[in-house]
């Protein structure tokens, strides 16, 4: 297992970095390496992360009313070769990835810290399971300031 820098980066994420974020990014990179365009790769990464998270945490009580998740390679109900897949009745697109991963942590943090670190681990052929926790150990969001005024 490779060592990862754990000191706090100069640029901090807006919110805590989850295994979900790391998994989505790893699979975005995998899709890019397979020749998919950037928008499709983002859609694939977020879709797979949601499929795996859904299986890990199980179905919710109200899931019987939701559309089932279309599996990789399964044709769409319309018969068209769709660019993006659906999870939980919602299309998982590049915009979904941008919102659920990039905007959540902050674009600057994603571009300058997160994406390069994940890409470096993938380039070293590290397995997701070997770095999913260690790589994000020093990526803690800045403490939020309380908006409440102290009564004195």
How confident is the prediction along the chain (152 residues), in pLDDT tens digits per residue?
455 554 555 899 999 999 999 999 999 999 999 999 999 999 999 999 999 988 866 555 444 444 444 455 555 454 444 788 888 888 999 999 999 999 999 999 999 999 999 999 999 999 999 999 999 999 999 787 766 655 55
User: pLDDT value at position 61?
Assistant: 45
H-state helical runs in 2-145: 19-33, 38-57, 94-97, 104-105, 107-109, 115-123, 128-131
User: pLDDT value at position 67?
Assistant: 44
Cβ 23 vs Cβ 132: under 8 Å: yes
Q: Helix, strand or coil for residue 35?
A: coil
pTM of the full structure: 0.76
Q: Helix, strand or coil for residue 89?
A: coil
User: pLDDT value at position 64?
Assistant: 44
Show me where the domains of the chain are located. 19-58+85-136
Cβ 17 vs Cβ 105: under 8 Å: yes
User: pLDDT value at position 31?
Assistant: 97
User: pLDDT value at position 101?
Assistant: 98
């Amino acid at each position: 297992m490779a060592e990862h820098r754990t000191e706090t980066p100069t640029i901090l994420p807006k919110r805590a970095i989850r295994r979900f974020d790391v998994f989505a990014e790893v699979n975005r990179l995998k899709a890019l390496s397979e020749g998919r365009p950037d928008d499709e790769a983002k859609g694939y990464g977020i879709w797979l992360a949601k499929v795996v998270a859904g299986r890990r945490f199980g179905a919710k009580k109200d899931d019987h009313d939701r559309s089932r998740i279309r599996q990789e390679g399964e044709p769409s109900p319309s018969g068209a070769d769709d660019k993006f897949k659906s999870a939980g009745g919602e299309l998982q697109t590049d915009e979904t990835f941008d919102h659920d991963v990039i905007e959540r942590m902050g674009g600057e943090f994603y571009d300058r810290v997160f994406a390069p670190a994940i890409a470096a681990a993938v380039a070293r052929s590290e397995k997701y399971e070997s770095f999913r926790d260690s790589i994000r150990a020093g990526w803690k969001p800045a403490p939020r300031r309380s908006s409440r005024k102290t009564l004195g």
